[in-house]
Structure 1
């Protein structure tokens, strides 16, 4: 079966969400269903979606509860064999679903990920915000879970999931409005999910804020406390394999989060204490390692011309990828 359920949360992105839906409906493998969950928008998103798409999409309205709650509603209603967790302002090459379904079926994997790029979009022009990310799979020197806990991240837009692995992982946490994807991805990986890479598509992630919950307008203290909750959850999800969370790079993340919490969220003493109980080593050791880490990053940026870790396998936009972008009606520069 190749039925894909596309789940798109929306909050106050009138126009942009329409562009995303058009992109989804134009896929060479037509989606089984497109579920748009409007999370209490106060603009004309709902009217605009209804006017343009009618019964081509399933439009669900709910009170503003955050992105996790919106995605949970979509997951509850999804009936496809695969799920594409798309954001309401991003775009993908028109072959994404076709090639990624093929990759999952061929490999019998649970998750497929593909190249993606941070971009600025101005009418029909696209400006790259750095190199293309994930031109190749993460190095085999670590498992995807090990990389994700230490020096890697992704966005779900450039992935495709088997519905069964998401059902096994459960629902999104709704107490985090940022970092919820990261916690959820670790939960998925701890369900022995098989991950495969496919390079035949590309996803365009808007680097502009455009109302992103993680944008510059979001309260920084909330972002910091959400990350602390996420690290605690990651640690506890991997407690049966302590070597994962004892890794120096994961512990660096924990110590940095403790420092940020003490500086920006001093009133959240319970959360700080919970985070400290998952830490190892001393603050002095952390300070030294942080200094060394910054030096290494500076050297990497100078000599490799990118600050991205090796896990991201960065590269220039290929001719094939440029053609994919032009097929969307854009000129890349």
Structure 2
């Protein structure tokens, strides 16, 4: 019996420092047939030359820079021929057996719409603990499964995702038809578009969880997650968007509560950057506080905000 084709889509922007190593880890997988599509999102470095150097082992596609990962991933999805699809970041490293293990999990569990694997972060030669070990709710399921693969019901998966986002873009292997039915990634989001798609896809059915570490996520100064303000604004936008999409009122409330937490974090971020007007404007969305922790936050940030405006005034008067 022929095995299903798997498409690996790699969105790349100025990824010349890492792309070659990343592609080798994909090509070294013990699974075939495999289709690799690199979508160059308007790079100005040697990304194109590196991708093309792999010849017909890699399909190279180019587009004008979009400013996010959503558009090039959708570009690749439109060209994908595989029954299964995964989106792999151009600086991550795929560990042996990722593809074959996830295909086996989805072939075994035909009711599941995607499969999520564990991962760890690394910087240079330093590696973190595996990510699942930092997720208490997910770890409860891992303990009862004796660290073997297990299936989460759709509702439970979404509930845990809201509390402790246990997966990122490079992790899931999806059934392509399900991702296509959701329209791919939301291009209005400039970050968190992976969480947004994963959550929406998890409304379609069960999800298989594989506890083994299947890839390594590279941390460096140019990671999009290093831009705190951008991340927080998109964390808020993605959760509020999903609250409109979600049909379960309990999860809608959970998403709204999470967005409130991110608003308070954004407020702190803006105050630390001296953007006092923007921070003050957030009070209309965060008040009233819903807990003692919220109240403490509002008092602390309110004091900082008043001191910041006062100091700005002093500086202005001195410069006059």
Q: TM-score, normalised by structure 1?
A: 0.73
Query: Which of 202, 212, 219 is 2:223 aligned to?
Result: 212
Runs of 5+ consecutive residues of structure 1 not aligned to the other structure: 293-333
Partners of 2:62 and 2:277 lie apart in 1 by 35
Change (3 A) 1:184 1:44: same
Residue in 1 that maps onto 2:115: 112
Residue in 2 that maps onto 1:127: 126
What aligned pairs does 1:204-283 form with structure 2 within 5 A after superposition?
Answer: 204-209=216-221, 211-214=222-225, 216=226, 218=227, 220-238=228-246, 240-247=247-254, 250-261=255-266, 264=270, 276=285, 283=288
Larger-gyration structure (1/2): 2
Query: Which of 133, 145, 155 is 2:168 aligned to?
Result: 155
Aligned to 2:52, the other structure's residue is in SS state helix
Q: Tell me if structure 2 keeps the 8 A contact 1:177–1:213.
A: no
Residue in 2 that maps onto 1:181: 194
Q: Tell me if structure 2 keeps the 8 A contact 1:112–1:161.
A: yes
Partners of 1:143 and 1:272 lie apart in 2 by 31
Partners of 1:111 and 1:119 lie apart in 2 by 25
Q: Tell me if structure 2 keeps the 8 A contact 1:12–1:41.
A: yes
Residue in 1 that maps onto 2:208: 196
Change (3 A) 1:149 1:23: same
Partners of 2:85 and 2:70 lie apart in 1 by 15
Q: Tell me if structure 1 keeps the 8 A contact 2:6–2:84.
A: yes
What aligned pairs does 1:23-102 form with structure 2 within 5 A after superposition?
Answer: 23-51=25-53, 53-65=54-66, 66-102=68-104
Q: Tell me if structure 2 keeps the 8 A contact 1:111–1:196.
A: yes
Aligned to 1:23, the other structure's residue is in SS state helix
Residue in 2 that maps onto 1:296: none
CA RMSD of aligned residues (A): 2.8
Deviations 1:278-308 (A, max 9, x none): x8xx53324535869xxxxxxxxxxxxxxxx
Aligned to 1:61, the other structure's residue is in SS state strand
Change (3 A) 1:266 1:38: farther
Larger proportion of helix: 2
Q: Which has the higher contact order (CA 8 A, sep 6+)?
A: 1
Aligned to 2:22, the other structure's residue is in SS state helix
Offset at 1:267?
7.3
Q: Tell me if structure 2 keeps the 8 A contact 1:95–1:201.
A: no
Paired residue total: 272
Aligned to 1:198, the other structure's residue is in SS state strand
Partners of 1:99 and 1:290 lie apart in 2 by 47
Change (3 A) 1:155 1:34: same
Offset at 1:257?
2.7
Partners of 2:121 and 2:13 lie apart in 1 by 21
Runs of 4+ that moved beyond 4 A: 135-138, 260-263, 265-269, 289-292
Runs of 5+ consecutive residues of structure 2 not aligned to the other structure: 142-151, 298-320
